[in-house]
Structures are given as C-alpha cells and as structure tokens.
Amino acid sequence: MADTALYKDKKARQAFIAQSKEIFEGIKGKLEGQEGVVAIEPASGEYFVGKTLGATNDAAFARYPDNWVYFVRPDDPEAAIMLVTW
C-alpha cells in the first residue's frame, strides 16, 4: 500500500505536482495529437501513455506498483490528478 504521507504533506504534494508538470511540459511535443491519458512517475521521469485511465494505470502499475503517479490528459493538461497506481 502506498504511503499517504505524500498526499497529506501539502508542500510535498505541491512539489510532486510541480515536478510532474515540468516533465509533462518536456514531453508534450511528443504527445501532440494523441488522445488518452499519460501517467508520469516524477522521481524517474518515466511516463506511460494509454487510451484510457485504466490502460495507462495498468502500464504504470506494472513498473511502479502502489506508487504515486500523476495522470494527465495530453489534450487537456488541466484534467490532471495524482493517484496511487492500483
């Protein structure tokens, strides 16, 4: 089970989101025109792309089980949330 301290600590949560957004900014050119969802693991910089949240989560979970990742839609970066892979 993932550590909830990251979510409970406002500064840590904001840093996680900021780092994830920075990674997204660096890769969004590669994602242009794609639909679906991106999962970003900010500590490694690794990201996963899938057609649905479930498909993207499955890919992220295979590599980072029960870890926090940042999910974002490439066509709408405001549609984003940090969640634990499940």
- Those residues with Cβ within 8 angstroms of residue 11's Cβ, 6 or more apart along the chain or in another chain: none
Q: Is the pLDDT of residue 81 over 90?
A: yes
pLDDT of 53-67, one tens digit each?
Answer: 999 999 999 999 999
Specify which residues 83 forms β-bridges with: 69
Give the pair of three-digit tokens for residue 23: 């990674």
What whole-number distance in Å separates Cα of residue 46 and Cα of residue 76? 20
Q: Which letter does DSSP use for residue 58 in this model?
A: H
48, 74 contact by CB (below 8 A) = no
Q: Global pTM? A: 0.94
How many Å is the Cα radius of gyration of the chain?
Answer: 12
